[in-house]
Amino acid sequence: MGQYAQLGAVKTWYEEHGEGEPLVLMHGGLVDARFFEPNLGPLAEHFHVYTPERRGHGHTPDVEGPITYQLMADDTIAFLETVVREPADLVGHSDGAFTAMLVAMQRPELVKRLVLISGGFNKSGSAEPADAEWNVDEIAQFLGPAYGEVSPDGEEHFKVVATKIGEMAAREPALDAAELNAITARTLVMFADDDLVTLAHMTEMYQAIPEAELAVVPGTSHFLTQEKPHLVNHLILDFLTQAPVQTVAPIRRAPAS
């Protein structure tokens, strides 16, 4: 059963599942916590899973003004401080991944481990055609009905939110690779082999995060969590429940001489 927490101006909806150490699932842009349906059960067998929905997404109503990654990071920090109330693992997809990344950079004491799925750090890494258009009408046909099923703002408000996300996406994310050095949490960077960012961007992100591990899920797209959930779930759980192994021939992780 979902419930709301008033976090500043945002009436944030979330559910809780399972028992154990806290894990916060952070959905992508223009979708909601239902996107993680293929992943929730296996994760909740091991963790106390929280599924907050960000401003203007899912059951959480929109608020006046723009939507930016920093605002969503601020909302997430408030959620961690007010609802979770202890350091948590963050598992984010797409916009949720970049939002989780900002939280880890700005408030490292709130984050135990990070799983960043299909979320780049700079628009220069986009694999989409340069002339790709943010067509709100087409996006509304694709995602609007699902939004209308749960949003307190009604399906007709979807285009307002989609426009805000489009304005954000035109400018962000906009980090330099060197800034990722601020991430101190052990991190799993996961992408599809046919994702919305280039393979070069994936490896640059992996190399820039100090305690990063890299997974590329073969034969999948940006929707890898749904396309190959068993493999994605296995990778996430292996990372979160097992200590790092002592590798036989370390190069990147070789001890400093």
Q: What is the pLDDT of residues 149-181, one digit of tens each?
A: 999 999 999 999 999 999 999 999 999 999 999
Q: Give the pLDDT of residue 170.
A: 92
Q: Give the pLDDT of residue 255.
A: 87
Written as one letter, the residue type at 226 is: Q
The CATH number for 226's domain is: 3.40.50.1820
Q: Give the pLDDT of residue 1.
A: 84
Q: Give the pLDDT of residue 256.
A: 81
Per-chain mean pLDDT for the chain = 97
Percentage of residues in the chain with pLDDT exceeding 90?
96
Query: Does 158 map to a domain?
Result: yes
Helix, strand, coil fractions of the chain, as percent rounded to 5: 40, 20, 40
Cβ-contact 170, 66 below 8 angstroms: no
- Interval 36-46 mean pLDDT: 98
> 255 preceded by cis ω (within 30°)?
no
Q: Give the torsion sign (CA, 189, 190, 193, 195).
A: negative
Query: Does 139 map to a domain?
Result: yes
Written as one letter, the residue type at 227 is: E
What is the residue whose two structure tokens read 């008033």?
6
Q: Which domain holds residue 155?
A: 3-241
Cβ-contact 35, 27 below 8 angstroms: yes
Coil vs helix vs strand at 234: helix
Domain count, the chain: 1
Query: Does 179 map to a domain?
Result: yes
Task: Say if pTM beats, i.e. exceeds, 0.75.
Answer: yes
CA distance 254 to 7: 44
Query: Does 252 map to a domain?
Result: no
Mind listing the pLDDT tens digit for each residue in 215-240?
A: 999 999 999 999 999 999 999 999 99
Query: Does 121 map to a domain?
Result: yes
pLDDT over threshold 80, residue 257: no
Mind listing the pLDDT tens digit for each residue in 105-127?
A: 999 999 999 999 999 999 999 99
Coil vs helix vs strand at 144: helix
The residue count for the chain:
257
- Interval 28-55 mean pLDDT: 98
pLDDT over threshold 80, residue 130: no
CA end-to-end span of the chain: 54
CA 24 to chain centre: 10
